[in-house]
């Protein structure tokens, strides 16, 4: 349990660093973005909201820094992320509306690619030395293809040649959203291609990592012992795979950051609603409150996912789990 608490401490600290960076960055930059924004916003938002944005962006330079900081934290604690300049509504409301698209898309894609990649890695690791090794160069190439490029290629293939998949949006905009089959099937159809691009780009990484680990673990005595015990092949592979999966989970923190970053662009390519699409609009419109809000949201989501991976690791590795128990 101590291990988990320690990790939690690290993530809490990271969250604090992220928040603080968010606070300091605008204040570090030359010039003052606030003045431009204030000009744009006068009359659009209430004075109180303006004040919140001001704090966030370092506009209220009359207050001492520490007080600004305190105020900023206070606002955050109440989920007050300011008001979007381009969309003229509270950032927290906008994000609440968009986050589920992103979490849904990336979540499903990440789980799929992890599962498929891991299983393939186990199989190819076990079949090392057979013709299946030819998959390595292909996978290495696939692993190196940027997510957004793969998305583009898929669009190109399916737009100009085969019309299998819808290429834009999360659902057919002529259908009213709701709990009925038309909408749900449209939703699924529209997510196929984005999910395919994310899965294809991230799959190879899991697969190659898992293959390497399988080959390594297959060299351990206990796997040979499993054979010596006359266990069927399936069980021998399971002995090895169970240990080999741990490094994959340990690398999850690193991988999830790359995956989320890549997926944000996939949203953009497929014009899929969600945070990724939003961040680019926000950058285009110099919508600082929105940019900051999104940054915090993404970082916290990644931290949350990493923490889940840590818990999973803890559950799966008895050496850590029992380290303090006995």
Degrees (nearest 5) of the Cα angle 304, 110, 116? 135
Max Cα distance, the chain (Å) = 79
Helix (H, G, I), strand (E, B) or coil at 180: coil
# chain residues binding another protein, by CB under 8 A = 91
Cβ-proximal residues to 79 (8 Å cutoff; 6+ apart), any chain: 92
- Residue 90 has phi, psi (to 5 degrees) of -60, 135
Q: How many CA atoms lie within 13 A of 310 on its CB side?
A: 19
Question: Should residue 299 be labelled a site residue for another protein when binding is judged by CB under 8 A?
Answer: yes
Element (H, E) at 277: helix 275-284
Question: Should residue 86 be labelled a site residue for another protein when binding is judged by CB under 8 A?
Answer: no
Instruction: Lay out the site mask for another protein across 273-292 (x = CB under 8 A, - = otherwise).
Output: ------xx--x--x-x--xx
Tokens of 166: 């819808």
CB of 174 to another protein, least distance (A): 20
Instruction: Lay out the site mask for another protein across 16-55 (x = CB under 8 A, - = otherwise).
Output: -xx--xx--xx-xxxx-x----------------------
Degrees (nearest 5) of the Cα angle 33, 18, 24? 35
Question: Should residue 8 be labelled a site residue for another protein when binding is judged by CB under 8 A?
Answer: no
Nearer to another protein, 21 or 108 (CB): 21
Question: Should residue 74 be labelled a site residue for another protein when binding is judged by CB under 8 A?
Answer: no
Question: Should residue 61 be labelled a site residue for another protein when binding is judged by CB under 8 A?
Answer: no
Question: Should residue 12 be labelled a site residue for another protein when binding is judged by CB under 8 A?
Answer: no
Interatomic CA distance for residues 187 and 190, integer angstroms: 5
Nearer to another protein, 182 or 323 (CB): 323
Instruction: Lay out the site mask for another protein across 236-255 (x = CB under 8 A, - = otherwise).
Output: x--x--xx---------xx-
Nearer to another protein, 47 or 234 (CB): 234
- The CA distances from residue 299 to 108, 244, 294, in Å, are 19, 28, 8
Among 88, 89, 140, 169, binds another protein (CB under 8 A): 140
Q: How many helices (H) and strands (E) does the chain have?
A: 14, 0
Among 108, 145, 187, 311, binds another protein (CB under 8 A): 145
Among 63, 235, 271, 315, binds another protein (CB under 8 A): 235
Segment contacting another protein (CB under 8 A): 48-56, 79-87, 175-183, 233-241?
A: 233-241
Question: Should residue 306 be labelled a site residue for another protein when binding is judged by CB under 8 A?
Answer: yes
CB of 180 to another protein, least distance (A): 31
Instruction: Lay out the site mask for another protein across 187-226 (x = CB under 8 A, - = otherwise).
Output: -------------------------x--xx-xxxxxxxxx
Nearer to another protein, 70 or 222 (CB): 222
CB of 115 to another protein, least distance (A): 19
Cβ-proximal residues to 209 (8 Å cutoff; 6+ apart), any chain: 121, 247, 248, 251
Q: Which residues are 83's β-sheet partners?
A: 90
Q: What is the DSSP string of 121-145?
A: HHHHHHTTTSGGGGHHHHHHHHHHS
């Amino acid at each position: 349990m101590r291990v988990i608490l320690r990790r939690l401490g690290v993530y809490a600290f990271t969250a604090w660093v992220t928040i603080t960076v968010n606070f300091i960055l605008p204040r570090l930059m030359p010039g003052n973005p606030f003045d431009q924004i204030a000009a744009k916003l006068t009359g659009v938002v209430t004075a109180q909201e303006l004040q919140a944005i001001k704090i966030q962006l370092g506009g209220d330079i009359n207050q001492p820094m520490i007080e600004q900081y305190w105020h900023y934290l206070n606002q955050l604690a109440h989920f007050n992320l300011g008001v979007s300049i381009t969309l003229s509504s509270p950032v927290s409301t906008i994000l609440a509306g968009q986050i589920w698209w992103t979490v849904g898309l990336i979540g499903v894609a990440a789980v799929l690619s992890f599962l498929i990649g891991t299983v393939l890695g186990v199989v190819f690791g076990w079949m090392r030395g057979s013709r299946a090794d030819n998959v390595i160069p292909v996978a290495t190439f696939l692993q190196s293809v940027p997510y957004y490029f793969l998305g583009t290629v898929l669009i190109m293939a399916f737009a100009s040649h085969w019309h299998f998949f819808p290429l834009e949006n999360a659902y057919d905009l002529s259908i009213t959203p709701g709990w009925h089959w038309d909408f749900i099937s449209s939703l699924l159809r529209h997510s196929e291609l984005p999910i395919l691009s994310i899965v294809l780009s991230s799959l190879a990484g899991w697969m190659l990592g898992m293959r390497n680990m399988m080959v390594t673990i297959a060299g351990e005595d206990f796997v040979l012992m499993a054979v010596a015990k006359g266990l069927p092949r399936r069980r021998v592979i399971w002995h090895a795979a169970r240990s080999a999966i741990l490094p994959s989970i340990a690398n999850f923190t690193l991988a999830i950051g790359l995956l989320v970053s890549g997926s944000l662009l996939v949203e953009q390519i497929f014009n899929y609603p969600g945070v990724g699409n939003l961040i680019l609009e926000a950058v285009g419109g110099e919508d600082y409150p929105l940019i900051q809000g999104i940054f915090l949201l993404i970082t916290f989501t990644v931290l949350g996912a990493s923490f889940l991976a840590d818990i999973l690791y803890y559950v799966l590795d008895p050496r850590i789990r029992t380290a303090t128990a006995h």
